[in-house]
Amino acid sequence: MTGALLVAGTTSDAGKSVLVAGICRWLHRRGVDVAPFKAQNMSNNSVVTADGGEIGRAQALQAAACGLAPSVLFNPVLLKPGSDRSSQVVVRGVVDGTVSAASYRERKAALLEVVVDTLAELRAAHDVVVCEGAGSPAEINLRASDIANMGLARAADLPVVVVGDIDRGGVLAHLFGTLAVLEPADQALVAGWIVNKFRGDPALLAPGLEQLRALTGRPTLGVLPWSPELWLDAEDSLGHVADGVVGRPAPPRGRDWLRVAVVRLPRVSNGTDVDALSSEPGVAVRWVTEPSRLADADLVVLPGSKTTVADLAWLRASGLADAVVAHARAGRPVLGVCGGYQMLGRRIHDPHGVEAAPGTVDGLGLLDVEVTFDVAKHLGTPRGTALGEPVAFYEIHHGRELRGSGPPLVTLADGTPEGRPEGMDAGHVLGTHAHGLLENDALRRRLLARAAAAAGREFAAAPGVSYAAVRAAQLDLLGDLVEKNLDTDALERLITDGAPAGLPGVRTTTGQARATS
């Protein structure tokens, strides 16, 4: 079996990422050499590859579904928003400047060549490549410079399936409208529909799908049911809903729940770091945006940020900064990760204007550390020890520590006799630049035990919990959903043979729609 497929969506967050992961898992379990691909991703959730590059976290999850290590080939263009109007551009894993929405259009012609060449390289190395679109192909105002949806499909002659989220309402109109606004050559590659997050009686939906086929000449390849068990690795900050509990926590092993409050910063980055906490029975992890939510928290987490200084200003303006300081001064644990760690220190220096205007701002003063932003980004996948346990993690940050007193949280195994110190452990206040640190099972349980002791909770960590196993089970669930609910024979034909010839075009006239050959 050889070929490729592009999964597009009617909207952002329609289910493209999880559907690609599910298709990849289904194929991988059948013994197919499959790889994921997303030409252009916009997300502040990223990981570091083994060769030192940076890609979107969703592509790392999809790689895991394929049994592969993350690679820069899976996501050649990554946009990391620093504001509503500008983004850092990462090309094949390496930062390549900052762009506005307008200036980015001027770069896309060159980037289309990059993504097409990268896809060709990936297809030469694997039997099947499952591609994920970005946003929606119906954004016709962006079509001329598109490199991720129909622009990529046309350049690489990819068959396209479109997924729509029925939970949002209007999914049949979304699917039809997506096709109807496309030009004929783009329409010719759109071969079918997939409905996502369906709840209820499928018989009620069936007549609508038949009418959709009559209107478009294209079949629905399956209806994926809504599954409350799926929650890992949100694509971007849309998944970090304020005041929402993360995951589906199992009941505690001891008498008490342990309550974790994660501050939802406006430009939160790698918020998926806290997903591992939610895998533990009896741990309730909640995203919060206002001070009262910290009142009963046993552990407060300040996650990463793409704009640390701006998010620190928001933290102060919202009253959350005072609440975090009060929590720490009461002897209750606070953990800062990357940007959150930088906020906990004494000062943040930005002499080169990496984030905004050059200058220095005061941190919360809870850790004896200062941070200076370097122009070059620090990327790595080191190993070491933390809280007495061996750990592996990844680093993505501009900040460089200027350490004061206090033991490190992490000691890196960098070849020196004493190891390189990283982060800080002040007992009830801890900070680190290490992303993915909580995915280390023994370390995570030690941290939770410390938080429970400080809070006086009768909490017992479950020694058998493996975060890697939790993630693998989620991927298998996605593979099961694809295998049981999609027309996999039709998917295979699309992957190997491409879009069928002669698919009808769709046009609208005076409010009526019809498929025309």
Report, as residue numbers or ranges, the catalytic residues: 338, 435
Q: What is the DSSP letter of 435?
A: B
Rounded to 5 degrees, φ, ψ at 291 are -60, -35
Cα atoms in the Cβ-side hemisphere of radius 13 Å centred on 477? 15
Task: Report whether 337 contacts 435 (CB < 8 A).
Answer: yes
Neighbours of 295 (CB within 10 A): 10
Q: What is the DSSP letter of 284?
A: E
Round to whole Å and give the CA distance between 128 and 4: 5
Round to whole Å and give the CA distance between 249 and 197: 21
Helix and strand tally (H, E) in the chain? Answer: 14, 30
Rg (CA), the chain: 24
The token duo for 12 is 């952002």
Rounded to 5 degrees, φ, ψ at 242 are -60, 140
Q: Helix, strand, coil % (nearest 5) of the chain?
A: 35, 30, 35
Cα atoms in the Cβ-side hemisphere of radius 13 Å centred on 396? 28
Round to whole Å and give the CA distance between 20 and 59: 9
Task: Give the angle 315-320-321 at the CA atoms, nearest 5°.
Answer: 65
Q: Which residue has the tokens 């930088």?
A: 342
Task: Report whether 20 contacts 235 (CB < 8 A).
Answer: no
Task: Report whether 36 contacts 145 (CB < 8 A).
Answer: no
Rounded to 5 degrees, φ, ψ at 186 are -75, -40
Task: Report whether 56 contacts 43 (CB < 8 A).
Answer: yes
Round to whole Å and give the CA distance between 248 and 305: 25
Determine the 3-state secondary structure of 300 from DSSP.
strand
